[in-house]
Amino acid sequence: MRKCARSSSRRDANRLWIVAVMAFGLFCASMPGKIFAQESASGDYVRSNYTKYEYKIPMRDEEKLFTSVYVPKDTLAPHPFMMTRTPYSVAPYGENQYKKTLGPSDEFEKAAYIFVYQDVRGRYMSEGEFLEMHPHVDAHKSASDVDDSTDTYDTIEFLLKNVPNNNGKVGIWGISYPGFYTSASIIDSHPAIRAASPQAPMTDLFLTDDGYHGGAFMLAANFEFYGSYFNLFPKPSPISPATPFDFATPDGYEFFLHAGATRNLETHYLKESNHFFDDQLSHTTYDDYWKARDLSRHMKNIKCAVMVVGGWFDAEDLSGPFKTFHAIDQFNPGIQNSIVVGPWVHGGWGRNDGDHLGDVEFGAKTSLFYRANIEFPFFEYYLKGKGTASLPKAYVFETGTNVWKKYDSWPPANAQAKTLYLHAGGKLSFDPPGANEGSDEYVSDPAHPVPFIDYIATDIPQRYMTDDQRFAARRTDVLVYETDPLVEDVTITGPVSPKLRIASSGTDSDFVVKLIDVYPNDAPDAAGTDAAARVIGAPPIRMGGYEQLLRGEPMRAKFRNSWERPEALTPGKVSELNFAMPDVNHTFRKGHRIMVQIQSSWFPLADRNPQTFVEIPDAKPEDFKKATEQVFHRKDAASGIELMVLPK
């Protein structure tokens, strides 16, 4: 990792009075992967009710971190701190320049907290070296052994001593990358931290968070993020050094296909200008680079109450909340640790109503409910002693029925593992296959990969997580299996685990598995849809037969036995391909069908597999070859999807 230049400023840790007024636009919340920001129409309330201060707070290694503090003008009672640490800027800079909103939601802003925003090391106005997902240091032997836990500790020590009228209690929260910093901040936590909420926390970039899924590189999201929004700061600055990348086409499928091997994106398009992208691209196995950044291994000595938050349709950090939640439970028995998951996209609980995603309706404004009835009471109780501590172990929204559920554990203790088997003729059932049901096959062509959406985009549309999959089912390189119409509701919770028996004519291939809810043909259209009208504009959305994506994941076959040591496939030899997809909480309603689709590309969501055993970023044009893929469904080589089913 390249080292950031250190600031020449060595002024005392007094308040900074910045003379120049700088206008700085935060990244919008719709940007990919690790970005989340909140905006509102007016900052008048903030300016009228808070006084802003700016500090450079010294760390134990003498680097100084830029910190904005908004203190309530109401001094009738002491106030707790509400803190977030971010790599995305605490802008606007200047003590006369105010944020438009404060805290996670309007409820907090009106409740008079001391809001603290800090640029993390090496980002924007903070000194020091920035490391991507800074590895935690287990043994702090000297002042130079620093990480985000020590930086938070030193920051809190300063705030308690220098910000008047505080009540000695600190809450920490953050979404996405700030969610990672929230998790990192509570390891060996400062005793003043009483409540923390890591939300969509980046946790393990190789194992199903932003970087890789099933060993496949998340191509479009990572290129957009590092190519346009996230780059190295040569020195502290209020202005980002990144500039948006010009695709020169609105069609991401066309752009990435024309680019060829993924290494070309770094050398030909980014001109080797961002080593963060190179790090993501070049570490193609689960090596020490990734293992050092798996924060779940270090979630120890946590003394505060924790509420982990995630979204069922988070396209970036869906697995992170679950891995964080389980790690906290494992290493910190007895503390208050809950998980909350709603029908949300990345950070959607903080900025949207949460009543729908794409064409799928959720029946209520779930985000508003969360902000007012779950998040705000959690911090009010632990930081101010108001209300009651009423969070269950798991507070999760059940899609399909569109209701909130409370459980004493996650997954629910009474969920039972049942395998949904593939059968000949495209059938799917809980009955195992017979002896002579054989296999299905298709030809996968890297020159014509299966698209992940059927419309034009260069980014990752958040709605793809629930999009209609009928377009894919019509392709000859996609296998489709479905049940008969269900005679009763089927509710599944927890992880989804494909267990495939496959063979390929190539020496490596991807197998993408998609779990889908198929609506009955008479499913009603959305209110206001006029299906009988002559179509002269955008066609109406017809929900009859809608194939709603619930979960989809690629699995790169060379990682079937080890994430660290890939192995080539032997052409024509049957191999086991067992993997886990992120958790779900969904009810397939009576009359619906359960569908599974299997394909060998999902482009450009994931990079193309050349289908030869090579180092994929550096694959040559001649390495990309067609392959015949087989999926078996016979008694001695059964394939299926293991689900956790709730009993009636």
d(CA 523, CA 259) in angstroms, rounded, equals 42
Find all residues with CB under 8 Å of 415, minimum gap 6, and list them: 493, 494, 644, 645, 646
pLDDT in tens, 555-579: 999 999 999 999 999 999 999 999 9
Find all residues with CB under 8 Å of 125, minimum gap 6, and list them: 66, 90, 93, 119, 236, 237, 238
d(CA 341, CA 309) in angstroms, rounded, equals 6
Residue 448, CA atoms < 13 Å, CB-side half-sphere:
10
Q: When comparing pLDDT for 456 and 42, which is higher?
A: 456
What is the number of other CB atoms lying within 10 angstroms of the CB of residue 448?
A: 14
Cα dihedral: 36, 41, 43, 45 (round 10):
-110
pLDDT in tens, 301-356: 999 999 999 999 999 999 999 999 999 999 999 999 999 999 999 999 999 999 99
**Residue 42 pLDDT:** 55
**Percent of the chain residues past pLDDT 70, beyond the cut:** 93
pLDDT in tens, 404-431: 999 999 999 999 999 999 999 999 999 9
What token pair was written down for 508? Answer: 């490596």
Q: Of 274, 208, 232, nearest to 124 (Cα)?
A: 232
Question: What does pLDDT average to over the chain?
Answer: 92
**Residue 29 pLDDT:** 35
pLDDT in tens, 184-198: 999 999 999 999 999
* Local structure of residue 591 (DSSP, 8 states): T
Per-position DSSP letters for 189-215, written without gaps between them: --TTEEEEEEES----TTTTSSSEETT
From the candidate CATH numbers 3.50.50.60, 3.30.70.2740, 3.40.50.1820, 3.20.20.70, the one assigned to the domain spanning 44-407: 3.40.50.1820
Q: Of 635, 426, 600, 628, nearest to 513 (Cα)?
A: 600
**Residue 3 pLDDT:** 35
pLDDT in tens, 105-155: 999 999 999 999 999 999 999 999 999 999 999 989 999 999 999 999 999
Q: When comparing pLDDT for 527 and 165, which is higher?
A: 165
d(CA 436, CA 424) in angstroms, rounded, equals 9
d(CA 606, CA 616) in angstroms, rounded, equals 12
d(CA 139, CA 298) in angstroms, rounded, equals 11
Please state the domain extents for the chain.
Answer: 44-407, 416-524+541-645
What token pair was written down for 373? Answer: 């009835």
Domains 44-407 and 416-524+541-645 share a fold: no
Please say if the pLDDT value at position 22 is more than 70. no
CA distances, 161 to each of 50, 77, 157, 167, 482 (Å): 19, 17, 7, 11, 63
Q: When comparing pLDDT for 11 and 516, which is higher?
A: 516
Please say if the pLDDT value at position 493 is more than 60. yes
State the DSSP H helix or E strand holding residue 276, giving kind and residue range, or none if neither.
helix 275-282
d(CA 238, CA 11) in angstroms, rounded, equals 18
- pTM for the structure as a whole: 0.92
**Residue 17 pLDDT:** 36
CA distances, 231 to each of 226, 278, 341, 367, 445 (Å): 7, 11, 31, 32, 34
**Residue 9 pLDDT:** 36
Three-state DSSP state, 473 = helix
**Residue 531 pLDDT:** 80
Contact 504, 629 (CB under 8 A): yes
Q: Of 193, 70, 167, nearest to 384 (Cα)?
A: 167
Contact 432, 638 (CB under 8 A): yes
Contact 125, 371 (CB under 8 A): no
pLDDT band at 536 (very low <50, low <70, confident <90, very high): confident
Q: Is the peptide bond before 554 cis (omega within 30 degrees of 0)?
A: no
From the candidate CATH numbers 3.90.420.10, 3.20.20.70, 1.25.40.80, 2.60.120.260, the one assigned to the domain spanning 416-524+541-645: 2.60.120.260
pLDDT band at 243 (very low <50, low <70, confident <90, very high): confident
Q: Which residues of 178-213 are buried (b: 16+ CB within 10 A; e: fewer)?
A: bbbbbbbbbbbbbebbbbbbbbbbbbbbbbbbbbbb
Per-position DSSP letters for 525-558, written without gaps between them: PPTT--TTS--SSSPPPP-TT-EEEEEEEEEEGG
Amino acid letter at 11?
R
Longest Cα–Cα distance of the chain, Å, equals: 80
Amino acid letter at 516?
I
Q: Of 84, 65, 75, 190, nearest to 129 (Cα)?
A: 65
**Dihedral over Cα of 386, 388, 389, 395: its sign:** negative
pLDDT in tens, 32-59: 333 333 334 456 999 999 999 999 999 9
Three-state DSSP state, 155 = helix
**Percent of the chain residues past pLDDT 90, beyond the cut:** 87
d(CA 53, CA 66) in angstroms, rounded, equals 11
